[in-house]
Amino acid sequence: MNQQEIRKRFPEMKIRWVRFPHLETAKLHKMIGVRPIANTILGGKETGKSSLNECLASHYKQIIDLFGSRDNEGLAWLRSPLNKNNGNILFLKGETVTIDCNCADVKNTGDFKISDMTKYDVVISAAAFYSSIREEWKSVATLMDHLWYRQGWSEPICLVIREAASLLASRHILGEDQTHALNYTIYVLRELRHCGFAITLDTIRWFGIDRDIRAVTDYTFIKATGTEGLPHDLRFLYRYFNPFKIQQMKPNQFVVLSRQGAIGTGTFQLPYWHKQEKENLISQFDIRIKYDREAAYAIENKNQKVSDLEHVRIIKMRLELPETENSMNKLGTKIQRSPRTIQEQMRHHNNSISVVGSCDKCRRSQNKEYENRIVD
């Protein structure tokens, strides 16, 4: 399927440039699907940002849907025109999961190599394909490291990252300090294009991704802002657009800002294959998943200094002891751990709750009293 055929079969996008039109008229349409450009989509819940993400990605011949929401919306590619029913879709899964299906090939994420893209047009990593959130994050981090081995390329591959802020937080929770996790993400976005990867990512909040990440984006797409309005850095757009129009844009509408300063407004066709709110794509495509809980627990605790039960003990002492007794140093003395270890467990606990609503260590230990409680 050549580029012209792709554009006929996939969602159409129309843009009217209102500032510096001489810089961008028809330029984006010529680059999308052909060049490894980076796109960021800013939008609240139910504003169509995920649909726009799919619209942009669908113009590329090959796609890796890397990281998404918990409702497995990446599986919607199975009913897109990219699925040609000839085994050209690959599922990536955790080592502790067994998948039985007829709609795609299956491989452990750790075994995936970029050379596998010669066989597949779409690679999907869905949340349901991992026994735990932490296993998913570890697998995705490993996959990201494999992408660097693409030395030469003739066609760009589009990397789809839904909820970009969660991807950054995941590396932070896995043990990387905040600065290292941020620097890694910036490096990915800046350098992957040299390996022939286009990137489309979306975020709910403008400040959910760092300024340095936004700076390496070629095109920023803005969806309906709701009552919050535009962030301070983007309020100059109100000179060109009615604030109430931006607040109330329909799901198929957007405002776009290019890295060179051109500003436009546009519409796109909502992908007919996009996952609807109440759909269960796992059952719809008859994907049978089996989780090995014991193996998952062993992997979670492999080479970890602090067990899940000890983690719960630390959180319990921090929450229940009086302030004069629950400092990092005193807790470390009580359980014979360093103050840094205590701090790392509290950070893991709070970050897990912030990203997914509960602490995985507390949940596995069946300690419901603390799994949703933030530790000060």
Least confident of 26-35, 46-55, 162-171, 330-339: 162-171
Of 218, 213, 157, 148, residue with least CA distance to 185: 213
Question: How far is Cα 337 from Cα 179, in angstroms, rounded to an integer?
Answer: 24
Q: Cα(367)–Cα(362) distance, rounded to whole angstroms?
A: 5
139's tokens: 């697998």
- Please, what is the average pLDDT of the chain? 80
Least confident of 57-66, 152-161, 257-266, 363-372: 363-372
Asked whether 276 and 308 are in contact (CB, 8 A), the reply is: no
pTM of the model: 0.72
Pick the more confident residue, 315 or 188: 315
Q: State the Cα–Cα distance between residues 214 and 235, nearest whole angstrom.
A: 16
Q: 221-255: per-residue pLDDT in tens?
A: 988 887 777 878 788 888 888 888 888 889 999 99
pLDDT band for position 303 (50/70/90)? Answer: very low
Angle at 68 between CA 67 and CA 72, to 5 degrees: 120
DSSP 248: T
d(CA 283, CA 281): 5
Q: What is the mean pLDDT of residues 50-78?
A: 87
**Among 35, 39, 18, 16, which residue's Cα sits nearest to residue 26?**
16
Question: What is residue 206's predicted lDDT score, i.e. its pLDDT?
Answer: 59
Domain 3-291 in CATH 3.40.50? The answer is yes
Question: Quick check: 275 pLDDT over 70?
Answer: yes
With a CB cutoff of 8 Å and minimum separation 6, the contacts of 81 are: 9, 10, 58
The predicted model gives 88-102 an average pLDDT of 90
For residue 302, the model assigns a pLDDT of 47
